[in-house]
Structure 1
Amino acid sequence: MTDCDLCGRGIPTVIPVRVNPPLLKFAYPEGVWKGLCETCLDSAQKVHMGNDKNELSCRKGKCALCQEKGRVFAVEIQIPDFSQGVVKKDKTLCSRCLKAVDESYIKYKREEIGGHGHGHEHEHEQSKH
């Protein structure tokens, strides 16, 4: 079991999103992996697609994934709560993390539709013929 880095929900697997925290850019120049549940990934994807980087919808704050301070966008997440079921709360993400979420979303959906998208199944079928 692992936890979603936005809502904290414990699930068997998370969807990896590569972010670039400014404080770790020298130690990890390629970025670090954060894990999101499908619900948080969908919510962040909707914000990315809906905003089109609209300056009116952003505000100053700190990104929940990379901790960078600057312009951020509010993403509504659903936090599991034993007494109330689900609590909706806003977390803020910067435009770079929203772009990383978009890339992970596209890859995740391709793999989901194409049977994990690795291409090994097709190679094996072609070698039989």
Structure 2
Amino acid sequence: MTDCDLCGRGIPTVIPVRAIRPLLKFAYPEGVWKGLCEPCLDSAQKTYLTVNKNQTSCRKGKCALCGDKTGVFPVELQIPNFSKGVIKKDADLCYRCLKSVDEAYIRYKKEQIEQDHEQGRIHGHEHVHPHH
């Protein structure tokens, strides 16, 4: 089990997202990997698409993924809670991390589609053409 780096949900596997941490850019010039659960990835990707379309104004803050103090955008998280079910809370992400989330989202969805195709073939759902 591992925890989502945004909401803290404990899940079997997380989706890797590259975060460029300004304070660590000399040690890790390629960035560090953060792990997100699917609901956080979906929510952050929706924020990225909204920011790209509407150029919603950002405010100064600290990014929850890379730690940079810069312009951030609120991403709505749905945090599991035993007594209340789900608590909605915002996490602030900078544009660079949102863009990274979008890349991870596309990669993740592509892998899901490929897995679905492979499972379809394994279970004998492929089309068989009779020999003429």
Tell me if TM exceeds 0.5.
Answer: yes
Aligned residues: 118
Deviations 1:70-102 (A, max 9, x none): 100000001111111110000000000000000
Which residue in the other structure is 1:39 paired with?
Answer: 39
Give the match's secondary structure for 2:64. coil
For residues 24 and 116 of structure 2, what CA distance do their matches in structure 1 show?
31
The residue that corresponds to 1:9 in the other structure is 9
1:27 paired to 2:27 = yes
Which amino acid in 1 is paired with 2:94? C
In structure 2, C-alpha distance between the alignment counterparts of 1:109 and 1:81, rounded to whole Å: 27
Find the aligned partners of 1:72 and 1:103 in 2 and give their Cα distance: 18
Return the offset for 1:103. 0.3
User: 1:41 is matched by which residue type in structure 2?
Assistant: L
Q: Distance in 2 between matches of 1:57 and 1:108?
A: 28
Which TM-score applies when normalising by structure 1? 0.86
Return the index of the structure with the highest Cα Rg: 2
The equivalent residue for 1:115 is 115
Determine if contact 1:53/1:95 at 8 Å carries over to the other structure: no
1:27-60: per-residue Cα shift (whole Å, max 9, x none)? Answer: 1111100000000000000000111175543111
Q: How does 1:1-129 map to 2 (within 5 A)?
A: 1-52=1-52, 54-115=54-115
Contact 1:74 1:93 in 2 (8 A): yes
User: TM (normalized to structure 2)?
Assistant: 0.84
RMSD over aligned Cα atoms:
1.7
Which amino acid is 2:113 matched to?
I
> Any conservation in 2 of the 1:17–1:100 contact (CA below 8 Å)?
yes
Residues 90-128 of structure 1 deviation map (CA, whole Å, 9 limit, x = unaligned): 0000000000000000000000001289xxx9xxxxxxx
Which residue type is aligned with residue 111 of structure 1? E
CA contact (8 A) 1:6 1:36 kept: yes
Q: Could you tell me which residue of structure 2 aligns to residue 126 of structure 1?
A: none
